[in-house]
Chain A
């Protein structure tokens, strides 16, 4: 099975940098995703890591350490519109169905304040 942990809530100031951590325990790991979900809306894809290291995409970066079962999402130059929940999801191969499935963490609610 999978177990994914991330902080429930975080608060940061507009213009600052915030790091949202995610730890996981899984077998058959095959990638880690970060999604952004604004209140009342569908999750939208932010980033994907399958190899160790940092993936940078504009103001957002995501890091993965497979040996430590650890990832973080780094948001720079925070804007008010970044207030949302950030979902960490681990992808693993389910041998029974022969398919990849995502298991989501409960999400981190980020509040950006002026």
Chain B
């Protein structure tokens, strides 16, 4: 597609359940980022994938969060044993090249996660 897509757009789950969020980056973009945006807060960096390199997981808030990127394209963010504080909008962004400062990130529409 022309832009970054994410699914589902909305997800409501019960506390303690696992959820999977999907991101399809722009074709040919080698860099992929996951962010979390809570109400009234800025975008919080979670994880970064660049080509075949080991991902930068420094932003993941706990070991309940994990992500993978298969075939250098689609990425899945998994949250295990969800907690109410995990409720937020999860945004994915992709970038054409990962190591050049001038390349900007293009964001998907986000997945709004609500944990009851």
The residue in chain A whose Cβ has the minimal distance to the Cβ of B3 is A42
Partner of A105, one of B42, B56, B58, B98: B42
**Is A100's CB within 8 Å of the partner chain B?**
yes
Chain B interface mostly: loop
Q: Are B56 and A99 in contact (CB under 8 A)?
A: yes
Q: Are A44 and B107 in contact (CB under 8 A)?
A: yes
Q: Which candidate, B11-19, B43-51, B63-71, B80-88, is the interface stretch facing chain A?
A: B43-51
A104-B42 Cα distance, complex, nearest whole Å: 6
A92 to chain B, nearest CB (A): 10
A22 to chain B, nearest CB (A): 11
A80 to chain B, nearest CB (A): 22
| Count of chain B residues with a beta carbon within 8 Å of a chain A beta carbon | 25
Chain A interface mostly: strand
Partner of A30, one of B33, B44, B101: B101
A66 to chain B, nearest CB (A): 13
Q: Are B104 and A33 in contact (CB under 8 A)?
A: yes
**Is B21's CB within 8 Å of the partner chain A?**
no
The residue in chain A whose Cβ has the minimal distance to the Cβ of B110 is A42
| Count of chain A residues with a beta carbon within 8 Å of a chain B beta carbon | 27
Q: Are B40 and A99 in contact (CB under 8 A)?
A: no
A26-B102 Cα distance, complex, nearest whole Å: 18
Q: Are B101 and A100 in contact (CB under 8 A)?
A: yes
Q: Are A99 and B43 in contact (CB under 8 A)?
A: no
Q: Which residues of B contact A (CB under 8 A)?
A: 4, 33, 35, 40-45, 48, 50, 56, 58, 91, 98-99, 101-102, 104-110
Known: A42-B109, A45-B104, A94-B58. 5 other contacts (CB 8 A): A87-B43, A96-B56, A98-B99, A99-B98, A100-B99
Q: Which residues of A contact B (CB under 8 A)?
A: 4, 30-31, 33, 41-45, 48, 50, 87, 89, 91, 94, 96-107
